[in-house]
Amino acid sequence: MELRSEGIDDVHVVGVNGIEYAVKSITGMIEGRTLPWVQDNLDQRVWESWEVYIRDFFVLDKDGAVVDVVNLTALDPDPMVNEGENYRAIKELLLTARDQ
C-alpha cells in the first residue's frame, strides 16, 4: 500500500503457502489483507525447487530472477520493530530489484 501511495505500481508481492501447510488454515495470513496468497502443490513443488525455509521472502527482478532472499523471522518487517529499520531495508530491496 505504501508503494502504491508513492506512485509505484510495478512492485508486486504474493505469498506462497507450502504443501505441508495446506491442511492448516491460512485465514490469519489473508483475513483483512490485500496480499494475494496461493497454495503450492505436488505438481509445482515451488518450495522444494526454490529451497524455501518458512517465512523466506524472495525478491525478484523484473525478469523474474531472484536477486535476494531474506527470512522474515530474522528480519521482522513490522514497522514498529527496530524503529522501522527492517521495514525500510526490505522496502529498499524491492526498489533496488525494481531498478535492475
Q: Which of 17, 63, 9 is nearest to 36 (CA)?
A: 17
Q: Which of 19, 20, 15, 14 is nearest to 40 (CA)?
A: 19
Which amino acid type is present at position 35? L
Residue 23: its pLDDT value, please?
83
Task: Tell me the pLDDT tens digit for each residue of 60-75.
Answer: 999 999 999 999 999 9
Degrees, nearest 5: CA angle 33-38-42? 160
What average pLDDT does the chain have?
Answer: 91
- pLDDT band, residue 2 (cuts 50/70/90): confident
Residue 93, φ and ψ in degrees, nearest 5: -60, -45
Residue 35: its pLDDT value, please?
82
- pLDDT band, residue 42 (cuts 50/70/90): very high
- pLDDT band, residue 37 (cuts 50/70/90): confident
In this structure, are residues 55 and 72 in contact, taking their beta carbons and an 8 Å threshold? yes
Residue 22: its pLDDT value, please?
86
In this structure, are residues 55 and 71 in contact, taking their beta carbons and an 8 Å threshold? yes
